[in-house]
Amino acid sequence: MKNLFLLPLVFTLIMSCENPKKEDKTTNKYVEETHSFAKPNIAVISHLDLNINVDFDAKAIIGKATYTIENNNATEIILDSKFLEIENVLADTKTTGFSLGEFDEMLGQPLHIAIKPDTETITVFYQTTSKTEALQWLNPQQTADKKHPFLFTQGQAILTRTWIPIQDSPQIRITYDATVKVPSELMAVMSAENPKVKTADGIYNFKMKQPISAYLIALAVGDIEYKAISERTGIYAEKSMVTKVHSEFSDMEKMVVAAENLYGKYAWDQFDVIVLPPSFPFGGMENPRLTFATPTVVAGDKSLTSLIAHELAHSWSGNLVTNATWNDFWLNEGFTVYFEIRIMEALYGIDRANMIALIGRQDLDDELESLKNTPNSTKLKLDLKGKNPDDGMNSIAYDKGYLFLRTLEETVGREKFDAFLKNYFNAHAFSTIHTEKFIAYLNKNLLEKHKINFNTDEWVYDAGVPSNQAVIQSDKFENAEKAMQQFLTNNKVDVAMTKDWTTQEWVHFIRNFPKEMTIAQMELFDDAFNFTNSMNSHIAMVWFEQAINKNYRGNAVDTKIEEFLTQVGRRWYVETLFKAYEKHDKVEEATAIYKKARANYHSVTATTIDKLLGYSN
């Protein structure tokens, strides 16, 4: 008789998290994730209703996040949080118990919330703190128009938890609604259905109806305007930038059409780009419906717009078919570089595509050289347990990933490869994919189907680059190399030889200066081509890198480098230049510049450079 009383308890235990059978059944759904505290097998979020106030005076986001949950008879749900102040939590409509676990430098704290087996929603009242890593609060001086402050978020890889308490794993997809209140002179936009004009009261409502991973939730607030390019594409920028940005990105609709022709329908209805202030830490970020981009790609001649093709390509590889864990990051980026280059080929021809591919090929060689003492980090499939996912975000995922796919394409033939990729995106739409699942799919649907032998495992699980790699060739680059030889031999520049060069040829030319090049030769080139004052950010960046490498100081290049580093926060650029200083024992000089520049950097860039220069704030 007594035992009968215990039955409900036993039953609850069996049904709860500790039940090994249940775990077994559901591990199929979620693979092990070391960068999130969430236990989605027990209770998982499915929809977010965010209601926040963006307070520029306090530099804080204050509000509440309500989640609809899928509850497996659980007694708690765990969210990720980092540097958040949690004020109160509700289970359905009633206040419930919660606790923050031990703080981890990288992951933050698990937020344990007590729920009942029949709880359907939870609500967390919270605010961000000054330590938040996702948010960058800009003063008017840091914007293009210099009149109003600006705010943007950066979620990838594990920063969304620093502005929203959430289950921050790419495997967990949610839809969301948001109500965001901002000062009435500003406009708010998100990775969602967006306003095209300002509201009078500064209140904006958003809806993202397709399920996305937490790292793709994004918000930007500033004095911005919208200008359409086509019915479903357009740009947001500050007033003084709108015209320039609009004409720079005027091929956006054509890019979407080219992409759809390759791998199927665009799944997100609208494709807009917002150009942010120059401290934005990335070239671009593929937030669904609204790519975030650096102004450094607005070159005036559309020469750097492969970045838009890249972020657009993520609408398939990344946003639609998402890497399950950050160890599978190459499935996001390698596929996206491949797709990007195919879009560029479709729009601008094979020459342009191959130049872009070769610049990436050289990036890969540089990366392999810099990682030569840690060969494990040159594998496509990574093991980032205990490491910050940021550490895995280098040229390997992008350019080795690309080379793998290009080699596959050349092995099986383009027609079969394209058919395979189209099916791959279709079959995995709105779900996540990990490396082993991809390999199984590849074997079944491409290699075995067409009886083709391929060393997939070597590409994915071994260090370095296999010997069957595709060879990328460009006449244009070969000409640029010949021109350089001639200029150096004659000690004289024939400007006519360079008259049709595009940005890609200039970048290749500058990056491939011979080791023994003299300062006099640097001067010769600078006088002829005025590299020091280049208005093209990529050309300027590779030239500055060489100036540091060769200790060239002509034409006040030092002042230009300092200006560049204090204005631009794009991590790839900034890191390349600081690395050059570091490599040439000029850490002191670098640190002097960094002290002035650091306040302008987003946490993502500052963290990287702090580490590189051994700088503590």
Rounded Cα distance, 395 and 397, in Å: 6
CB of 571 to Zn ion, least distance (A): 13
Concerning whether 461 is annotated as a catalytic residue, the answer is no
Whether the Cβ atoms of residue 184 and residue 202 lie closer than 8 Å to each other: yes
For every residue of 126-195, DSSP letters joined together read: EEE-TT-SSEEEE-GGGSSSSSS-EEEE--TTTTGGGTS-B---TT-EEEEEEEEE--TTSEEEESSS--
Residue that the structure tokens 């998402």 belong to: 322
Q: For the beta carbon of residue 303, count every other beta carbon within 10 angstroms.
A: 18
CA dihedral 326, 327, 333, 334 (to 10 degrees): -170
Question: Does residue 321 contact residue 339 with C-beta atoms inside 8 Å?
Answer: no
Closer of 72 and 156 to Zn ion (Cβ): 156
Minimum CB separation from Zn ion for residue 205, in Å?
29
Q: Using the minimum distance from each CB to ligand BES, give the nearer residue, 187 or 293.
A: 293
Which residue in 155, 34, 80 sits closest to 604, CA to CA?
155
CA distance 617 to 75: 42
| 76 vs 133, beta carbon nearer ligand BES | 133
Task: Tell the smallest beta-carbon distance from residue 52 to ligand BES (Å).
Answer: 23
Q: Is 402 a residue of the active site? A: no
Taking the least distance from each CB to ligand BES, the nearer of 113 and 307 is: 307
Q: Which of 269, 281, 268, 387 is nearest to 325 (CA)?
A: 387
Q: Which of 41, 98, 42, 89 is nearest to 65 (CA)?
A: 89
Q: Which does 393 bind (CB under 5 to 8 A by kind): Zn ion, ligand BES, none?
A: ligand BES
Shortest Å, Cβ 434 to ligand BES: 17
Quote the least distance from Cβ 265 to Zn ion, whole Å.
21
**Min CB(83)–Zn ion separation in Å:** 26
Nearer to ligand BES, 71 or 537 (CB): 537
The item of Zn ion, ligand BES, none sharing an interface with residue 505, based on CB under 5 to 8 Å by kind, is none
Residue 284, binding choice from ligand BES, Zn ion, none, Cβ under 5 to 8 Å by partner class: ligand BES
Question: Which is nearer to ligand BES, 168 or 526 (by Cβ)?
Answer: 168
Tokens of 294: 């650096």
Phi-psi region of 556 (alpha: psi -120 to 50; beta: other; left: phi over 0): left
Angle made by CA atoms 394, 377, 308, in degrees to the nearest 5: 20
Instruction: Select from ligand BES, Zn ion, none the partner in contact with residue 80, using the beta carbon and a kind-dependent cut-off of 5 to 8 Å.
Output: none
- Which is nearer to Zn ion, 315 or 354 (by Cβ)? 315
CB of 326 to ligand BES, least distance (A): 9
Residue 307 interacts with, from ligand BES, Zn ion, none (CB under 5-8 Å by kind) = ligand BES
Q: How far is the CB of 316 from ligand BES (least distance, A)?
A: 12
DSSP states along 294-357 = -GGG--SSSTTTHHHHHHHHTTTBTTTEEESSGGGHHHHHHHHHHHHHHHHHHHH-HHHHHHHH
Question: Given the rule CB under 5 A, which residues bind Zn ion?
Answer: 333, 336
221 closest CA partner among 308, 163, 161: 163
**Residue 68, amino acid:** T
Q: How far is the CB of 111 from ligand BES (least distance, A)?
A: 23
Given Zn ion, ligand BES, none, residue 304, with its beta carbon under 5 to 8 Å by kind, binds none
- Element spanning 363, H or E: helix 350-370
Q: In what order do the strands lie in the sheet with 224-228?
A: 224-228, 233-238, 271-275, 290-293, 284-285
Please say which residue, 122 or 393, places its beta carbon nearer to ligand BES: 393
**CA gyration radius, the chain:** 25
Half-sphere exposure of 117 (CA within 13 A, CB side): 10
Does residue 285 sit in helix, strand or coil? strand
Token duo for residue 486: 């001639």
Contact 230, 206 (CB under 8 A): no
Residues lying near ligand BES in the complex (CB under 6 A) are found at: 156-157, 282-286, 307, 310-311, 314, 333, 393, 398, 572
Which tokens go with 424? 């791959």
Residue nearest to ligand BES (CB): 283
Nearer to Zn ion, 306 or 603 (CB): 306
Separation between Cα atoms, residue 190 and residue 181, nearest integer Å: 13
Q: Which two tokens stand for residue 290?
A: 């609204």
Q: How far is the CB of 276 from Zn ion (least distance, A)?
A: 16
398, 573, 581, 594: which is the annotated catalytic residue? 398
The rounded distance, in Å, linking the Cα atoms of 50 and 205 is 10
Buried b (16+ CB within 10 A) or exposed e, 177-189: bbebbbeeebbbb
| CA distances from residue 263 to 344, 347, 418, 420 in whole angstroms, order as listed | 14, 15, 7, 9
| Closest distance of CB 314 from Zn ion, Å | 6
Residue of 311, 333, 409, 505 with catalytic role: 311
Calculate ∠ Cα 464-465-470, nearest 5°: 165
- Closest to ligand BES by CB, 198 vs 310, is 310
Nearer to ligand BES, 170 or 283 (CB): 283
- In sequence order, the β-bridge partners of residue 113 are 77, 98
Query: Catalytic residues, which ones?
Result: 311, 398
